[in-house]
Structure 1
Amino acid sequence: MIPSHEKKGQALLNWKATNELPWGILLLFGGGFALAGGFESSGLSHLVQNLFTNLPAWPPLLIMAIVCVFVTFQTEITSNSAVTSLILPILATGAVVFGIDPRLLMIPATLSASCAFMMPIATPPQAIVYSSGYVNIRQMMKAGIWFNILGLVLTIGMFALIQVFVWG
């Protein structure tokens, strides 16, 4: 399939190896990056940034908690890489609009993107486990929701303390 210049007549990648590639996983993540690119090029991310200016003046910790919950559950249906590449610039702008240290929104959001445990698309290891055929989505969701909740509680609690004791 891919010719080799070193050995004439031999391929670097043959059809047998190509058939064994986890194409579903590759397409999931490629689709996530394409979705993030589409949000940028269509102006949707700019529209979301503008929405920040119309929100009421909420306490910073409440905003951080809402962001963490949103990101955790968004990464259940979109790859965590795509979510973070889309949401971090929006959070940086939103933090400045709210007069909040951007780290209080961006770091917890990044951690929350890694705390999605319910769906196969959330992380590559979950996609691999699901593609094995030993577990179904319902089983993953039943077990994963508790890890999602634990991740949210730990992330929000940790950054509530960091915000108070480290960043003032």
Structure 2
Amino acid sequence: MLKVLSMTRSITDDISGWGALFNGRAGDGNVSVMMATLLFIIPNKKQEGEKLMDWNKCMKLPWKIILLLGSDFAIADGDQTSALADILSKALYFLKFTSNNAATTLVAPLFIQIPKSMPVHPLLLMIPGAIGAQFVLLFPIGTPSNIVRFTTGHIEIQDMIKTGLPLKTAGTGVLSLLMPTLGNFIFYQFAKFTST
């Protein structure tokens, strides 16, 4: 039901879905909240008066993971809708402390705009930006898998920093060495090949 409502909210440019009833203000979040609310209303038919979801079942959900992932997507959406100047001013700060999804969303528009004003192949910026964003290994919010491991309680932040810092340093070094040398050669050879 959730998928059907999400897919029929806006069908095509010519065919409006049920979202037109709300002047285009209904989003996927509205669908999710509506479906979650219905779980507290629909009876489960196992026991009289019992619903599909109640507060006791709700308390057993992994809320740490849900909130960390939700904040990740909120940061990514905020960065995507912000201006290029805001992206540039926040880039160094967020790349250390945000998730790989938010970091990629943060730097991608920046690396698309820079080659328009410089004689640089766009992939020389896009590829290291996308790969470098995956080096956010130091904190639980870095990747969804980090969040899952951290919420088990068996891994501390110090352990993540101890393991993530050498990996981040090595990855950054290799990327900084390969992209201006091998990457430069490959992309310019490819550009010559495609232009002939």
Q: TM-score, normalised by structure 1?
A: 0.70
- Alignment of 1:109 with 2:129, yes or no, is yes
- Alignment of 1:146 with 2:194, yes or no, is no
- Alignment of 1:26 with 2:66, yes or no, is yes
Inter-CA distance 4–75: structure 2 relative to 1 (3 Å threshold): farther
- Alpha-carbon shift at residue 122 of structure 1 (Å): 0.2
- Alpha-carbon shift at residue 167 of structure 1 (Å): 1.0
Aligned to 1:99: 119
5+ long unaligned stretches in structure 2: 1-36, 189-196
Q: Which amino acid aligns with 2:159?
A: Q
Aligned to 2:21: none
Aligned to 1:46: 84
Measure the CA separation in 1 of the matches of 2:51 and 2:96.
38
Q: TM-score, normalised by structure 2?
A: 0.61
Inter-CA distance 167–120: structure 2 relative to 1 (3 Å threshold): same
- Alpha-carbon shift at residue 38 of structure 1 (Å): 3.2
- Alpha-carbon shift at residue 40 of structure 1 (Å): 4.7
Backbone CA RMSD of aligned residues: 3.0
Measure the CA separation in 2 of the matches of 1:121 and 1:93.
28
Inter-CA distance 17–76: structure 2 relative to 1 (3 Å threshold): farther
Which stretch has the larger CA shift, 6-15 or 133-142?
6-15
Aligned to 2:14: none
Larger-gyration structure (1/2): 2
Write out the 4+ residue segments of structure 1 that deviate beyond 3 Å after TM superposition. Answer: 3-17, 36-41, 48-51, 73-76
Report Cα offsets for 1:111-155 as digits up to 9, x if no partner.
111122111010111111111111211121112101111221233
Aligned to 2:75: 35
Percent identical residues = 28
Aligned to 1:135: 155
Give the conservation status (yes or no) of the 8 Å contact 2:43–2:52. Answer: no
- Alignment of 1:83 with 2:107, yes or no, is no
Measure the CA separation in 2 of the matches of 1:50 and 1:148.
21
Aligned length, in residue pairs: 147
Higher relative contact order (CA 8 A, sep 6+): 1
5+ long unaligned stretches in structure 1: 52-66
Inter-CA distance 106–117: structure 2 relative to 1 (3 Å threshold): same
